[in-house]
Homo-oligomer: A and B are copies of this chain.
Amino acid sequence: MREPVTILGNYLSPYVRKVLVCLQLKGIDYRIDPFAPFIGDETFSRLSPLRRIPVLIDGDFVLNDSTVICEYLEDLQPTPALYPAAPRDRARARWLEEFADSRLGEVIVWRMFYQLGVKRYLFNETPDEEVVRKAREEELPEALDYLEAQLPAQGFLFGEVGAADIAIAAFFRNAAFVRYQIDAALWPRTAAFVERALALPAFRALAAFEEKTLRTPVAQQREVLIELGAPVTANTLGNIAPRRGIMKVE
């Protein structure tokens, strides 16, 4: 039996969520260090040069970037496959994962969740309403138009659920955290697809931890998650004072 891997991350990050769902689907045992985004010191920079989460720690091996981590998990344990085998399908899966991580990241994480969640509740600052309005009314609809043309009417993109499906669905959890729901009248495939993906046990297993994290101040999250039965590891980075950093959540 291999030792569990450690994920340095936070249940509210869609990039962390993508990796946790992949770990779950592959049956790879893990512990999470529920590291609060936007907070960290130089110890964290050494583990994550771009100050992003998640970080995977597998023994003495430290790896960054959610996409690179998912590809590593696929190489480490090829079944169940989370990327299709045929080169064109595989490329399209990687592209859609990139589209989600990049474009849905910009719009949902940075212009909606950050403004309405992180900025308001973690930093006690006023959201920029124009940034939020443009994201909701212009940028996200444009991304949804694109997804609507890509996603299948039933099932998942390439048969069984894979990394591209997981990446796309993961972002709409963050949209839901700030009360955005996809309008099924306008984007019926996307709305049904996201609902189908988020109903998978691997996503549902995380929901209670996400909701608890949302409602708990950063300093108490670790303790509260342990009480709730989350697979929380000892504090990887030691006690660090919260500070506003340049951290990105990817």
Residues on A lying within 8 angstroms of B by beta carbon are 49-50, 61, 63-65, 67-69, 71-72, 75-76, 87-88, 90-92, 94-95, 98-99, 102-103, 146
Taking the closest CB of chain B, its distance from the CB of A175, in whole angstroms, is 19
A98 to B101, CA, bound (A): 13
Contact of A98 among B68, B75, B103 (CB under 8 A): B68
Minimum CB distance partner of A56 in chain B:
B91
Could you tell me the distance in whole angstroms from the C-beta of A154 to the nearest C-beta in chain B? 24
Stoichiometry (number of copies): 2
Residue among B49, B87, B88, B90 making CB contact with A146, cutoff 8 Å: B49
The A interface, classified by DSSP as helix, strand, loop or mixed, is helix
In the complex, what's the smallest C-beta–C-beta distance from A44 to chain B, in angstroms? 14
Report if A49-B98 is in contact (Cβ < 8 Å); known contacts: A76-B87, A87-B72, A91-B68.
no
Answer whether A91 and B67 are a contact pair too, CB < 8 Å, given A49-B99, A49-B146, A50-B102.
no
Residues on B with beta carbons closer than 8 Å to the beta carbon of A146? 49
Enumerate chain B residues within 8 angstroms of A68, measured Cβ to Cβ: 91, 94-95, 98
